[in-house]
């Protein structure tokens, strides 16, 4: 096992560090050389078939569900098709409104999650076109879906999913550009902008991984707190949900993610002196709004760690510490912003002496209901 960990103490940290390479694999041969379009030769949709799609449902569990939430932003804004994201165990029992004009996308690292597989079968039974995004070739879900695209992240051993999530996000963004291309809802300029942004990601992830000392220090300093809050707006909210799940799962710290604008509708009551709040502020279009929510929690004496894009000169005035991520398009920022959250969860779990790779009560692949 030590050999498989390649010198790392845990599979999780090894897999965190594998992300630049994993993402490169996800993109390899799928970006046109001149950045003009996405190549997904696996997909056999015609322009007419895509024009007939009236709705997309994304169905998954856990981290894959959180990836689906990011995917909703990508797919809706680029292809202009309404997207619903559902937890597989809910979708399969709620008599979903799905028909032959629906595209059902199931997301699963393992391709074996029972609820996701059952949801896929239900969508098929109702006549939907189905697509699986998975990491495991030949898995049950890959065999059941009409079409499949692989994340090519390589084996993920740690129970806590890391590289599967970031590669799912990369693939979701490529899929959204691809579908938008078929539907003529994306300009050549925007497509090129996003594709060249995707190309920069491996180097940018590498940059984050080169200097993790401050993240380690925060984890050691706040790792014994019993509650942590994650806030963000828009895509930052989706990433906050993943950050909270990661922290709960491996460090057993109670964590909640909240859409920053919702704070005053309940959670603000829990913000008291010294409570750590991780505030994501990478989305420029809602930046000022997020800052005002940061001020709300600061006014209650929370300890705020901001996650912001490099070049942000304002944030330091409002937070206690900032972790900067390399500058990126707002669509691609989640793929970078989740890294500090994965690392925080990892180092908090290590600080608390938890069994990082095999957290209590959890299995890597949930093949029962």
Q: Which of residues 241-280 bind ligand AGP (CB under 6 A)?
A: 249
Q: Mark residue 62 as left, alpha or beta (left: phi above 0; alpha: psi -120 to 50; beta: remaining).
A: left
Pick one of 23, 57, 62, 233: the residue that binds ligand AGP (CB under 6 A).
Answer: 62
Active site residue 364: yes
Smallest distance from the beta carbon of 62 to ligand AGP, in angstroms? Answer: 2
Q: Say which residues have a Cβ less than 8 Å from residue 256's Cβ, sequence separation at least 6.
A: 227, 228, 229, 230, 244, 267, 270
Cβ neighbours of 62 (radius 10 Å): 21
Pick one of 79, 89, 110, 204: the residue that binds ligand AGP (CB under 6 A).
Answer: 110
Smallest distance from the beta carbon of 249 to ligand AGP, in angstroms? Answer: 5
Q: Which stretch binds ligand AGP (CB under 6 A): 23-31, 107-115, 178-186, 228-236?
A: 107-115
Q: Which residue is nearest to ligand AGP (CB)?
A: 62
The pair of three-digit structure tokens given for residue 213, joined into one six-digit string: 């000392």
DSSP 315: G
Pick one of 79, 109, 204, 342: the residue that binds ligand AGP (CB under 6 A).
Answer: 109
Q: Measured from the CB atom, is 117 or 302 closer to ligand AGP?
A: 117
Smallest distance from the beta carbon of 354 to ligand AGP, in angstroms? Answer: 14
Smallest distance from the beta carbon of 300 to ligand AGP, in angstroms? Answer: 30
Tell me the per-residue interface mask from 162 to 201 with ligand AGP, x by CB under 6 A, - otherwise: ----------------------------------------
Pick one of 13, 56, 70, 159: the residue that binds ligand AGP (CB under 6 A).
Answer: 159
Nearest to 163 by CA among 174, 149, 151: 151
Residues 76-81: contacts with CB under 8 Å, at least 24 apart: 77/176, 78/176, 78/177, 78/179, 78/180, 78/185, 78/186, 78/190, 79/176, 79/179, 79/180, 79/183, 79/185, 79/186, 80/180, 80/183, 80/185, 81/53, 81/54, 81/55, 81/56, 81/179, 81/183
Pick one of 19, 26, 108, 251: the residue that binds ligand AGP (CB under 6 A).
Answer: 108
Q: Are strands 227-232 and 147-150 parallel, antiparallel or unpaired?
A: unpaired
Nearest to 54 by CA among 127, 106, 147: 127
Residues 324 and 309: beta-carbon distance below 8 Å: yes
Q: Which stretch binds ligand AGP (CB under 6 A): 59-67, 75-83, 171-179, 291-299?
A: 59-67
Which residue in the block uniquely carries the two structure tokens 């990433």? 239
Q: Measured from the CB atom, is 58 or 271 closer to ligand AGP?
A: 58
Pick one of 77, 200, 351, 365: the residue that binds ligand AGP (CB under 6 A).
Answer: 365
Q: Measured from the CB atom, is 142 or 234 closer to ligand AGP?
A: 142
Q: Measured from the CB atom, is 62 or 181 closer to ligand AGP?
A: 62
Q: Which stretch binds ligand AGP (CB under 6 A): 58-66, 125-133, 224-232, 261-269?
A: 58-66
Q: Which stretch binds ligand AGP (CB under 6 A): 2-10, 55-63, 255-263, 344-352?
A: 55-63
Pick one of 57, 58, 61, 149: the residue that binds ligand AGP (CB under 6 A).
Answer: 61
Q: Which stretch binds ligand AGP (CB under 6 A): 60-68, 71-79, 94-102, 171-179?
A: 60-68
Cα 90 to Cα 81: distance, rounded to the nearest angstrom = 22
Q: Are strands 55-60 and 321-325 parallel, antiparallel or unpaired?
A: unpaired
Nearest to 27 by CA among 197, 206, 209, 239: 197
Q: Measured from the CB atom, is 120 or 305 closer to ligand AGP?
A: 120
The pair of three-digit structure tokens given for residue 138, joined into one six-digit string: 């030949």
Smallest distance from the beta carbon of 67 to ligand AGP, in angstroms? Answer: 9
Residues 354 and 365: beta-carbon distance below 8 Å: no
Cα 107 to Cα 96: distance, rounded to the nearest angstrom = 17
Size of the site for ligand AGP (CB under 6 A): 15
The CA angle 284-290-291, to the nearest 5 degrees, is 100
Active site amino acids: 364
- Residues of this chain that interact with ligand AGP (CB under 6 A) are 61-64, 108-110, 113, 116, 159-161, 249, 365-366
């Amino acid at each position: 096992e030590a050999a498989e960990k390649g010198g790392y103490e845990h599979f999780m940290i090894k897999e965190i560090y594998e992300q630049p390479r994993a993402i490169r694999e996800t993109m390899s041969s799928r970006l046109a050389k001149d950045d003009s379009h996405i190549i997904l030769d696996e997909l056999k949709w015609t322009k007419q078939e895509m024009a007939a799609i009236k709705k997309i449902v994304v169905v998954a569990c856990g981290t894959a569900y959180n990836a689906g939430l990011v995917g909703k932003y990508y797919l809706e804004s680029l292809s202009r098709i309404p997207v619903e994201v559902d937890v597989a165990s809910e979708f399969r029992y709620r008599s979903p409104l799905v028909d032959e004009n629906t595209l059902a996308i199931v997301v699963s690292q393992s391709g074996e999650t029972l609820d996701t597989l059952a949801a896929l079968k239900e969508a098929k039974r109702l006549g939907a076109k189905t697509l699986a995004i998975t990491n495991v070739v030949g898995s049950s879900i890959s065999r059941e879906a009409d079409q499949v695209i692989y994340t090519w992240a390589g084996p993920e051993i740690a129970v806590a999913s890391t590289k599967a999530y970031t590669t799912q996000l990369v693939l979701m963004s490529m899929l959204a550009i691809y579908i938008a291309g078929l539907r003529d809802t994306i300009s050549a300029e925007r497509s090129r902008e996003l594709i060249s942004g995707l190309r920069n990601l491996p180097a940018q992830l590498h940059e984050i991984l080169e200097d993790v000392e401050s993240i380690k220090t925060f984890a050691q300093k706040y790792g014994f707190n019993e509650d942590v809050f994650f806030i963000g707006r828009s895509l930052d909210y989706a990433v906050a949900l993943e950050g909270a799940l990661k922290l709960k799962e491996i460090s057993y710290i109670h964590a909640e993610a909240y859409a920053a604008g919702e704070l005053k509708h309940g959670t603000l009551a829990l913000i008291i002196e010294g409570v750590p709040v991780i505030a994501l502020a990478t989305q420029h279009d809602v930046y000022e709004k997020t800052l005002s929510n940061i001020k709300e929690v600061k006014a209650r004496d929370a300890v705020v760690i901001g996650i912001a894009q490099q070049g942000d000169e304002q944030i330091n005035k409002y937070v206690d510490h900032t972790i900067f991520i390399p500058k990126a398009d707002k669509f691609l920022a989640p793929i970078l912003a989740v890294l500090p959250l994965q690392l925080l969860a990892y180092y908090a779990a290590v600080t608390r002496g938890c069994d990082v790779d095999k957290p209590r009560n959890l299995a890597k692949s949930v093949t029962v209901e």
